[in-house]
Amino acid sequence: MAKRVAITKRDRDKMKKQLLDRRAELLADLDGNESDIDTLQEPKADDLDRAVEAGAMELLVALGDTERRELEEITLALEKIDLGEYGRCEACRDEPLNLCPTCPFIPRPRLDALPTARLCVACQEAEEQNKIPNYTRLRPRKTIFQEGEEFSHPLMENNDND
């Protein structure tokens, strides 16, 4: 049976390193997707080439959206580490729901498997069934990119003024 304990400082440091490594990996992937999209936007000779290009472009954009959502989750987890709130179930943040034996903490095995976990397993299941009426998901207050870092994407450019 899991205990009701917060994770240790050593565990938090390990998770922080893991999250920072994954963040760097995602940012590198996003830069790679940008160059792939640039290549796909070159003029094509026939309709078949354009159709294949459109499908590939849609896949790259979807991958980029998934990566951006994961970056947001990583940013929030890093922010929680800095604030000393990492490993606490968001649904039990204000008042423990006591849906599991570890309440209000997220068990270490769940954090090992999913370092960006916001809820313990019991609260996650309850939330998916809309059984937690007042639960509001937290959003990161920090930006995804560090000072001086920048990410641009051809589909993010706004050329409406032309």
- Give yes or no for residue 110 having a pLDDT over 70: yes
20-29, 66-75, 119-128, 146-155 — most confident range: 119-128
3-state secondary structure of 49: helix
Distances (CA, A) of 58 to 62, 88, 161: 6, 37, 25
- Give yes or no for residue 1 having a pLDDT over 50: no
Residue reference for tokens 């049976």: 1
Q: Which domains does the chain have, with CATH numbers?
A: 9-144 (1.20.120.910)
For the residues 88-102, what does the mean pLDDT come to? 85
How high is the pLDDT of residue 141?
Answer: 76
3-state secondary structure of 37: helix
Amino acid sitting at position 21: D
Q: Which residue has the higher pLDDT, 69 or 79?
A: 79
- Give yes or no for residue 16 having a pLDDT over 90: yes
How high is the pLDDT of residue 114?
Answer: 94
As a whole number, the mean pLDDT across the chain is 75
Q: pLDDT tens for residues 17-61?
A: 999 999 888 877 766 655 555 555 555 556 666 666 666 666 656
For the residues 62-87, what does the mean pLDDT come to? 85
In whole angstroms, what is the distance from residue 95 CA to residue 72 CA? 25
3-12, 59-68, 111-120, 127-136 — most confident range: 111-120
Q: pLDDT tens for residues 137-157?
A: 788 776 655 555 544 444 444
Share above pLDDT 90 across residues of the chain, in percent, rounded to a whole number: 23
Which residues does residue 105 pair with via DSSP β-bridges, in sequence order? 88
Write out the two tokens for 153: 């994407």
Check: CB of residue 8 under 8 Å from CB of residue 111: no
Q: Which of 91, 157, 85 is nearest to 122 (CA)?
A: 91
